[in-house]
Amino acid sequence: MKSRLDEQTIALRAAGEFTDGSVVNLGYGMPGLCANFVPEGRTVFFQSENGILGYGSLATDTEKDYEMINASDQPVTALPGMCFFDSAVSFDMIRGGHVDIVVLGAYQVSEKGDLANWGRPGRPATGMGGGMDLAVGASKVIVTMLHTTKEGEPRILRECTFPLTARQCVDLIITDLAVIEITRDGLVLREIALGWTAPEIQAVTGAELISAADLKEIEL
Amino acid sequence: MPVNKVVNNCDEAVADIPDGATIMIGGFGSFGGLPINLIVALANQGARNLTLIANMGGVGFELSHRIKPGGYQDLGILFENGQVAKFIGSVPALGGMPPTSPLERLHNEGKIEIEMVPQGTLAERIRCGAGGLGGFYTPVGAGTVIEKGKEKKVIDGKEYILELPLYADFALIKAHHADTLGNLVYKGTARCFNPVMAGAARITIVEVDKLVEPGQLDPEVVVTPHVYVDRIVEVPG
């Protein structure tokens, strides 16, 4: 049987990349779920564009406080050592390389690591928010997304066709089907979902994949 | 700088905003830090043909019901009212099912102009406006549609684009506490764009939860010094 990771599980896999002591920013939508999956024994400092460093997990309904939110307008919980700052300081932090990891959603990623995550045909008014700044400034860019569109078209392509967020910025792609690393040699298929083979993943990918020597099932 | 900056209510605070004004509006998204009482007063006042500079375009009252039961007001009211000619910001609309904002609907109908600015670039352009700088070079937007028509420069082997300052006629911002001089402190993530916009306009108007006397705010924790503030309205939360 072929399985697909659901959004929570993709977020869980992405959070596995958070190293101890890292400063991490979570983008709009699915990446926000990563706040609930910090690996045990690791300390992660979550940064959000609206001016907060060191918040905890997403808040439950009873804890909701709209003066304690992340950039996706989701209420978050407080942790000791947390601090606040304004938007200009927040983006100094982001552009200046002080954020170690950012997890972003995407419409498309190219084989060179170009990212398209803010605009698509027929929607000229959707904005990039802080996505361009994060894609350029963060040391490591992780993309979480579904492997294909609803119509089954690949989202990982030789060239992006949607407006770019930034060029050559993505390091790792985590989808419902695979974990793919972007290297100088090309796209390296590292992990695949239960029940899938490398040729089957290649068939739903719009760029050439190189199978890693130690290709394995997605590790959670 | 006026000696007495405290005004009685939001209606009085925004009464002299004329048609065609450029207005910065603080906050971030729909919640936390939006000067919502000043925004509603501006909606009632009715000034038209405005240019708004804000991070987000808001979702508007009609669409807000699908986010929070009972709905809420945000910046969207000014678009629903047809008061805005141009929007400068980073999130005119969200990527969900369209249309996600009254601004997006008006833009699709060709009734409003949008200048899309990456969020960090927006903050920095406003800071330049408040701080008397002529602009800055940023790597953000290089190699994308954002670089169109802008000067490019390679510094230490990296490509940068020139971004110019933003300055407004009025800035409407939200703070937690003010003293009567206009020193401001904020609460939590409601700080966001508010301190950045203070002073980036000819007249900065702040809405606060509580007004106190000079000396009652710890000078070590004041975020916005009073020179940047021209009018203060207390709206008890």
Which residue among A49, A153, A181, A191 is the active-site one?
A49
Nearest by CB: B195 against A52, A86, A126: A86
In chain B, % of residues over pLDDT 90: 86
- Helix, coil or strand: residue A194: coil
Nearest by CB: A69 against B32, B91, B223: B32
Question: For B22-70, what is each residue's pLDDT tens digit?
Answer: 999 999 988 889 999 999 999 999 999 999 999 999 999 888 888 778 8
pLDDT at A64 over 70: no
Closest CA to B89 of A95, A181, A87, A193: A87
In chain B, % of residues over pLDDT 70: 99
Question: For B180-218, what is each residue's pLDDT tens digit?
Answer: 999 999 999 999 999 999 999 999 999 999 999 999 999
Residue A60 makes CB contacts below 8 A (sequence gap 6+) with none
Q: What pLDDT is recorded for position A41?
A: 97
Give, in words, the CATH class of B10-234: alpha beta
Q: What pLDDT is recorded for position B181?
A: 97
Q: Check: CB of residue A149 under 8 Å from CB of residue A94.
A: no
Task: Indicate yes or no: CB of B192 within 8 angstroms of CB of A50.
Answer: yes
pLDDT at A74 over 90: no
B chain contacts of residue A52, beta-carbon cutoff 8 Å: 188-189
User: What does the DSSP 8-state code read for residue A69?
Assistant: B
**B94 pLDDT tier (thresholds 50, 70, 90):** confident
Phi/psi region, residue B8 (left: phi>0; alpha: psi -120 to 50; beta: rest), is: alpha
- Helix, coil or strand: residue B70: coil
pLDDT at B98 over 90: no
For chain B, the domains span: 10-234
Distance of CA A38 to the CA centre of its chain: 14
Task: Indicate yes or no: CB of B192 within 8 angstroms of CB of A67.
Answer: no
Task: Indicate yes or no: CB of B196 within 8 angstroms of CB of A88.
Answer: yes
What is the value of ipTM here, to two decimals?
Answer: 0.96
Angle at B167 between CA B165 and CA B173, to 5 degrees: 120
Q: Check: CB of residue B207 under 8 Å from CB of residue B62.
A: no
Q: Which of A87, A118, A123, A161 to mutate to test the interface with B (most CBs of B within 10 A)?
A: A87
CA–CA dist B44, B31 (Å, integer): 21
> Encoding tokens for residue B48?
């038209």
Task: Indicate yes or no: CB of A95 within 8 angstroms of CB of B140.
Answer: yes
The amino acid at residue B167 is Y
Closest CA to B225 of B190, B186, B198: B198
CA–CA dist B37, B233 (Å, integer): 10
pLDDT at A214 over 90: yes
Which run of H or of E encompasses B171?
Answer: strand B168-179
pLDDT at A66 over 90: no
Q: What pLDDT is recorded for position B65?
A: 85
Query: Phi first, then psi: what are they for B7, rounded to 5°?
Result: -110, 160
Distance (Å) from the alpha carbon of B56 to chain A's nearest alpha carbon: 8
Task: Indicate yes or no: CB of A84 within 8 angstroms of CB of B193.
Answer: no
Task: Indicate yes or no: CB of A67 within 8 angstroms of CB of B188.
Answer: yes
Residue A152 CB neighbours (<10 A):
8
Mean pLDDT of B109-115: 97
CA–CA dist B164, B148 (Å, integer): 14
CB pairs under 8 A between A and B: 154
Q: What pLDDT is recorded for position A203?
A: 98
Q: Where are the alpha helices (DSSP H) in B29-153?
A: 36-45, 60-64, 76-80, 102-108, 119-131
Q: What pLDDT is recorded for position B1?
A: 58
Q: Which residues of B164-177 are buried (b: 16+ CB within 10 A; e: fewer)?
A: ebbbbbbbbbbbbb
Which domains are delineated in chain A?
Answer: 7-217 (3.40.1080.10)
B chain contacts of residue A70, beta-carbon cutoff 8 Å: 189
A7 a catalytic residue: no
